[in-house]
Amino acid sequence: MNDSQTLAEHVLQGLRAKQKALSSAWFYDDEGSRLFQRIMAMPEYYLTRLEHSLLRERAQELAQWISPNRTPLDLIELGSGDGEKTLSLCRTLADQNVDCVYRPMDISAHALAELSRRFESDLPSMALEPTLGDYFEHWPQVPAGRRSVAMLLGSNLGNFDDVSAVRLLRRIHTQLRPDDILVLGLDLKKDPHVLQAAYDDAQGITAQFNINLLRRLNRELGMDFDLERFRHFASYCPLEGVARSFLVSQVEQVVSSSVLSQTFNFSAGESIFTEQSQKYTLQSIERLANNSGFRSIHVLTDPRQWYSMSIWHRVGQRA
Ligand SMILES: C[S@@+](CC[C@H](N)C(=O)[O-])C[C@H]1O[C@@H](n2cnc3c(N)ncnc32)[C@H](O)[C@@H]1O
């Protein structure tokens, strides 16, 4: 989502709505991608550490499920970011002499450049075919006869509301062939205090990440958001199992955009909804698979069952 026309339409619609809202997909400009790397290193953000441990420590088990008997495969990672975690899995596949082409996709050129640097230096033997683009619009061409393994990590599916999550899963289903695989890293429900801290860390990095969205709009749409007059707010609701982030206007103010030739009014305390992060149970993940044309064949979790990695088999005919 780097297209300025799409951003303009999104902001017009999002800031005119009764509950103002902007999509988290726009967080990842170069600075947003850098800040997200810092979030992943925060003590409170257990998601990355647990997922990375699964990919590192259970890589042989995972490799066995996605490439039984060393079946050749194309590993298509949706929203790959800098690929640090996937490197561990790719290393194991390379050690086992699996014929693998790694196809990371991301809307962030910065993230893909980092990923390419990392693979060139740490695993130069891996065949790497990055795609810069939106996974709702683009999909890499995989030669006939090769198995695709799509992968969506970081609990990214949880950033979508229920309707959009199923839409994304159906899109993946449409792109895959029968017997292809989807690997999904999903965050599990747990103590709300742990979840609350993950989205509102003590150092304020998540706050900077959220505020950076306004900086992006200032730069790309000629807006005049005063970054000091908005504040990050995050809250986890145990009833719904959802963490939500907002930017809250600290005063009554008017923000304008020279590109959109528009002004937007904010009352004191009014919020812009910027991100949701759905948390799952192992049962709800299984239901999601069944409702979107997949069958769960294996699940990896850490000992506390804080985080999960599910391996789904694509069932049914190609749509
Ligand atoms: C939360 S980060 C996660 C990165 C990585 N998967 C991980 O788990 O560390 C989300 C990544 O998805 C990318 N992204 C978000 N929406 C996307 C879309 N529609 N198409 C392609 N990439 C997208 C972002 O640029 C960002 O790098």
pTM value is 0.92
Give residues (CB < 6 A) around ligand 1.
1, 25, 28, 33, 36, 79-81, 85, 105-108, 111, 134-136, 153-154, 156
pLDDT score of 2 more than 60:
no
What proportion of the chain, given as a percentage, has pLDDT over 90?
A: 91
Position 319 scores a pLDDT of 45
**Is residue 22 within 8 Å of residue 14, measured between CB atoms?**
yes
d(CA 254, CA 263): 7
Q: Whose CA is nearest to atom 24 of ligand 1?
A: 79
Q: Which residue has the tokens 């807006």?
A: 223
Position 317 scores a pLDDT of 62
Instruction: Dump pLDDT digits (tens) for 195-227.
Output: 999 999 999 999 999 999 999 999 999 999 999
Spacing, Cα 132 to ligand 1 middle (Å) = 11
Q: Whose CA is nearest to atom 27 of ligand 1?
A: 81
- Which ligand 1 atom sits nearest the alpha carbon of residue 47? 8
CATH class given for the domain over 46-188+280-314: alpha beta
pLDDT score of 318 more than 60:
no
Pairing mode, if any, of strands 147-152 and 73-78? parallel
Spacing, Cα 178 to ligand 1 middle (Å) = 25
Spacing, Cα 267 to ligand 1 middle (Å) = 32
Q: For the residues 137-161, what does the mean pLDDT come to?
A: 94
Q: Whose CA is nearest to atom 14 of ligand 1?
A: 79
Q: Whose CA is nearest to atom 2 of ligand 1?
A: 81
- Which ligand 1 atom sits nearest the alpha carbon of residue 51? 8
Spacing, Cα 258 to ligand 1 middle (Å) = 29
Instruction: Dump pLDDT digits (tens) for 25-80.
Output: 999 999 999 999 999 999 999 999 999 999 999 999 999 999 999 999 999 999 99
Spacing, Cα 208 to ligand 1 middle (Å) = 18
Position 108 scores a pLDDT of 86
- Which ligand 1 atom sits nearest the alpha carbon of residue 155? 8
- Which ligand 1 atom sits nearest the alpha carbon of residue 28? 25
Position 3 scores a pLDDT of 76
Spacing, Cα 106 to ligand 1 middle (Å) = 6
Position 179 scores a pLDDT of 86
Q: Where are the domains of the chain?
A: 4-42+192-278, 46-188+280-314
Spacing, Cα 153 to ligand 1 middle (Å) = 9
What proportion of the chain, given as a percentage, has pLDDT over 70?
A: 98
pLDDT score of 158 more than 80:
yes
Instruction: Dump pLDDT digits (tens) for 276-288.
Output: 999 999 999 999 9
Instruction: Dump pLDDT digits (tens) for 4-19.
Output: 888 999 999 999 999 9
For a substitution probing ligand 1, which of 107, 118, 183, 186 has the most ligand atoms within 8 Å of its CB?
Answer: 107
Nearest one of 65, 122, 131, 52 to 94, comparing CA atoms = 122
pLDDT-derived band at 99 (thresholds 50, 70, 90) equals very high
Spacing, Cα 97 to ligand 1 middle (Å) = 28
Position 200 scores a pLDDT of 96
